[in-house]
Structure 1
Amino acid sequence: MIIVLFCVFALGSPVEPVDSNVYHEGAQALINGTPLYHFAPGHLLFTYPPFAALILSWMAPMTEHGAWLVMTALSCATVTLSCQRASRLGLLPTAPIGKARRVAFHLPCWAIALVILNPFWETIAKGQINIILMAVCLLGLTTDRRFWGGFAIGLCGGCKLTPLALGLPALRRHDWAHLAGMATGFLASIAIGWLLLPGTSQEYWTDLMWDTGRVGGLDYPANASVNGVLWRHCPTTVRSALWVLLGLAVIVAGWLLLPRHLDEARRSDDLVTTVAVSATVMLLISPVSWNHHWVWLPFIAVWAARVLPRRLSIVMTCLAAPVALAGPLYLARIIALPLGYDPLSPAVAWTGDILPVLALVVLVGALVTRRSSAQSSYL
């Protein structure tokens, strides 16, 4: 399965691997001793913490295409392994057949289904690290080794800050071992970066970390976060206040929906909720969640189908399907070009709002359903 996926992307990708090229240029800057965060004009900037550059330094002696091929192989492998683990834990639905047949049948089906989705095929085509980080964080969220699970997520946070939001389930359950692991992993990544790259680390952690504009235009249709929606549609005077209020509301909703403990009798349901809700909160509250960051979408969709009324789930699926398959930018082009619009014009920028708005609806719907179920049980 890994070989098949690799061949498909290696031989047929029409998208320029812009992200792996940035990683490659950052790795070369690191090895050559040139500034990591200040590339030549016209180049995309390296925006990750110094620890990420150290992790990616293996790219330096390779060509850009060679580095992308390795990233493609790693992403295809982690998609397959994630499907295997998710199917085994009940995070992805499977048919009630024998174990050997279940693996042989469902693994390729789910792997193919996932890479058809825009977050996956665009991540692989661009050489992004999202799928690899998702796989590590998925393991961290679902393992019984709480400290080491947290440690893995903390290291991911040292590569890309957004995974730190995945600590919300552990905070809800008072899982101090997991939180201690997260803190240890994150602080270890900072310490390693500071030890090996002191000047670069000081520049990043004291200055560049706060500059969200370095990652691209926040109003770009590909920014599928609450902040992206506000940047596209709200005046500057109220944008920041609304983002804070909505971000807090999302966190509170996630807190209320997350299980207080993992019940062995309904472990599969609790794990689905833990993974889906924490990922939804992370993607919504981040200042920037590009469409290819939504590699958690399959788990969110499975959870939404379980907690929402069936008719609402069907409607939500139909609304999400075009952007989930094509992505907001490609969907905007499909709509705009026949009408003579610029694909980046405000007239079609709403394609970037679909995923975050639907995710907010899912959170609200889950809260309403939960409250109705609680009242019915009480009566």
Structure 2
Amino acid sequence: MTGWSVPARWPASRRRRDLLLGVLCAGVTAFVATVPYHRDWFDLWVYYDAVSHWTAAPGGLSGAGLYDYRVPGQVYGFTYPPFAALCLLPLSLLSRPVALTVGIAANLGALALILRGLAEPLIRRHGLPRWSSYALILCLLALLEPVYDSVSFGQVNLLLLALVLSDARLLSGGGRWAGVGIGLAAAVKLTPAIFIGYLVVTRRWRAAGTAAAVAVGATLFAVWLAPGASHAYWTSALWDTSRIGDLSYVSNQSWQGVLARLRAPAEPDRLWWACGAVAIAGVWAYRVDKARAVGDVRGGIALTGAAACLVSPVTWVHHLVWLLPALAVLADRALEPPRRGRPLTAAVAVYVILCSYVIWLWRYDASGVDGLIGSNTFVWTALALLLWLPVRPPHPALRAPSGGPERPAPERRGAAAATP
């Protein structure tokens, strides 16, 4: 045959599969292009306007103008460390349409790296058809509310997750540069700093030292290049919660968000938050150490992402991309023969919840028992993942030394490779 006709040798089942995938991709594309929950690139424009205001303010990069900026008519301002602003500084040289294009391209590129990091092990381990599996998983990712919100807000979460997952891959292979990605992510935003704690708990001392050195070095570089902004951030802006927004707003799916909604309009009780955060950190450290003992890097990273969402004072819905590694772990278990039962139920349930937009039903009233349960759905999901996410021991003959890199398991039915 010639042209674009389908070769006759292709099995009919494959043609049907490709046709169904094409229809699915078209439907998902139409949905994400027209869904009414689009965020109009709000955060991207905060970044753009803040760094533009900073460069034009008296004193330029040496001044504190970065944190003087507020969105006109609103309380929101730039909330990240100065190093993040330095990374975003090239935006100020671009027109708004070009900056928007760059922001979208950066998020899509990060999503591609995340897709490869999370999907490739599943495809390889379970012998799935590569390109059709990638297409299906990409469609499933696009429908997740945290992923969609990150892209439509123009957020940096996907970029940071891609950095952390690049380190997870290096950790599994014993790469000498492991820790660099986590260190950079922690310098851009404070939440990923918990992954340095993961490296400490799992006794990966070299990677932990590398991550800490990169994070501190990047922060000191920002202090040297932007002393005014650094002083303003570490002494004032970091502690000013009014810059972030209302802690009781339903989008804040953290432990502090739960307390804030219970106490609204009063401030959440800091003692209760501290007690809960300590308890969460204790459970996290215990479970991560269990994952370390069996050489499960992917499980440890997934548990750390769930803990990060819970202990962070503010976890907007788009921050929940840190739950994607846990979802990949559940999918891995669900694909194991006989591919039914509790792992499959758990994977489907978590996926549906993260696609559901369910918390917005309590946007205006989170009172009562239904409000406590429904408005905090993502909090309870992250907590359930922290408590019950399965960790996978590699084959006993291939178990990695304590704190060392994992070694790949052989290809055999029922056995899982240890690499992420």
When normalised by structure 2's length, the TM-score is 0.73
Alignment check: 8 A CA contact 1:147 1:179 kept = no
Where does the alignment leave 5 or more consecutive residues of structure 1 unmatched?
337-342, 371-379
Alignment of 1:246-261 (within 5 A): 246-259=276-289
Query: Following the alignment from structure 1 to structure 2, what is the Cα–Cα distance between the partners of residues 65 and 93?
Result: 40
Question: Which residue number corresponds to residue 38 of structure 1?
Answer: 68
Q: CA deviation at 1:305?
A: 6.4
Secondary structure of the residue aligned to 1:20 is helix
Are the structure 2 counterparts of residues 221 and 363 from structure 1 closer, same or farther at C-alpha, using a change threshold of 3 Å?
same
Alignment-mate amino acid for residue 117 of structure 1: L
Q: CA deviation at 1:147?
A: 5.7
> Equivalent pairs: percent with the same residue?
24
Alignment of 1:72-91 (within 5 A): 72-90=104-122
- Which of structures 1 and 2 has the bigger CA Rg? 2
Alignment-mate amino acid for residue 19 of structure 1: D
Query: Following the alignment from structure 1 to structure 2, what is the Cα–Cα distance between the partners of residues 237 and 30?
Result: 32
Secondary structure of the residue aligned to 2:329 is helix
Question: Which residue number corresponds to residue 249 of structure 2?
Answer: 220
Query: Following the alignment from structure 1 to structure 2, what is the Cα–Cα distance between the partners of residues 163 and 122?
Result: 19
Are the structure 2 counterparts of residues 123 and 39 from structure 1 closer, same or farther at C-alpha, using a change threshold of 3 Å?
same
Alignment check: 8 A CA contact 1:221 1:349 kept = no
Greater Cα shift, 50-59 or 105-114: 105-114
Query: Following the alignment from structure 1 to structure 2, what is the Cα–Cα distance between the partners of residues 151 and 165?
Result: 14
Query: Following the alignment from structure 2 to structure 1, what is the Cα–Cα distance between the partners of residues 291 and 280?
Result: 20
Alignment of 1:62-101 (within 5 A): 62-90=94-122, 95-97=126-128, 101=129
Query: Following the alignment from structure 1 to structure 2, what is the Cα–Cα distance between the partners of residues 315 and 135?
Result: 25
Question: Which residue number corresponds to residue 232 of structure 2?
Answer: 203
Alignment check: 8 A CA contact 2:150 2:158 kept = yes
Q: CA deviation at 1:188?
A: 1.2
Query: Following the alignment from structure 1 to structure 2, what is the Cα–Cα distance between the partners of residues 323 and 82?
Result: 20
Query: Following the alignment from structure 1 to structure 2, what is the Cα–Cα distance between the partners of residues 80 and 312?
Result: 26
Aligned length: 349
Query: Following the alignment from structure 2 to structure 1, what is the Cα–Cα distance between the partners of residues 344 and 284?
Result: 19
Q: CA deviation at 1:155?
A: 1.5
Q: CA deviation at 1:55?
A: 0.3
- Give the superposed CA RMSD: 3.5
Alignment check: 8 A CA contact 2:167 2:178 kept = yes
Secondary structure of the residue aligned to 2:93 is coil
Q: CA deviation at 1:260?
A: 5.8
Alignment check: 8 A CA contact 2:222 2:230 kept = yes
Question: Which residue number corresponds to residue 89 of structure 2?
Answer: 57
Secondary structure of the residue aligned to 1:294 is helix
Match of 1:28 among 52, 64, 84: 52
Query: Following the alignment from structure 1 to structure 2, what is the Cα–Cα distance between the partners of residues 238 and 209?
Result: 18
Deviations 1:242-263 (A, max 9, x none): 2111111111111111146757
Question: Which residue number corresponds to residue 124 of structure 1?
Answer: 151
Are the structure 2 counterparts of residues 143 and 288 from structure 1 closer, same or farther at C-alpha, using a change threshold of 3 Å?
same
Question: Which residue number corresponds to residue 48 of structure 1?
Answer: 80
Query: Following the alignment from structure 1 to structure 2, what is the Cα–Cα distance between the partners of residues 153 and 302?
Result: 20
Query: Following the alignment from structure 1 to structure 2, what is the Cα–Cα distance between the partners of residues 93 and 247?
Result: 37
Alignment check: 8 A CA contact 1:79 1:135 kept = yes
Alignment of 1:217-366 (within 5 A): 217-234=246-263, 239-259=269-289, 270-304=296-330, 310-311=341-342, 314=345, 317-318=348-349, 320-321=350-351, 323-327=353-357, 331-332=359-360, 335=361, 343-347=363-367, 350=372, 351-365=374-388
Are the structure 2 counterparts of residues 209 and 285 from structure 1 closer, same or farther at C-alpha, using a change threshold of 3 Å?
same
Are the structure 2 counterparts of residues 261 and 247 from structure 1 closer, same or farther at C-alpha, using a change threshold of 3 Å?
closer
Alignment check: 8 A CA contact 2:41 2:152 kept = yes
Does residue 166 (structure 1) correspond to residue 186 (structure 2)? The answer is no
Secondary structure of the residue aligned to 2:321 is coil
Deviations 1:273-295 (A, max 9, x none): 11210101111100001000011
Query: Following the alignment from structure 1 to structure 2, what is the Cα–Cα distance between the partners of residues 142 and 120?
Result: 21
Question: Which residue number corresponds to residue 109 of structure 1?
Answer: 136
Query: Following the alignment from structure 2 to structure 1, what is the Cα–Cα distance between the partners of residues 164 and 244?
Result: 22
Alignment check: 8 A CA contact 1:87 1:94 kept = no
Secondary structure of the residue aligned to 1:72 is helix
Are the structure 2 counterparts of residues 220 and 82 from structure 1 closer, same or farther at C-alpha, using a change threshold of 3 Å?
same
Alignment-mate amino acid for residue 106 of structure 1: S
Alignment check: 8 A CA contact 1:30 1:57 kept = no
When normalised by structure 1's length, the TM-score is 0.80
Deviations 1:207-229 (A, max 9, x none): 22222332111111000111101
Alignment check: 8 A CA contact 1:146 1:177 kept = no
Secondary structure of the residue aligned to 1:56 is helix
Alignment-mate amino acid for residue 187 of structure 1: V
Query: Following the alignment from structure 1 to structure 2, what is the Cα–Cα distance between the partners of residues 321 and 81?
Result: 20
Where does the alignment leave 5 or more consecutive residues of structure 2 unmatched?
1-21, 59-64, 335-339, 394-420
Alignment-mate amino acid for residue 36 of structure 1: L
Alignment check: 8 A CA contact 1:167 1:179 kept = yes
Alignment-mate amino acid for residue 50 of structure 1: P
More helix by share: 1
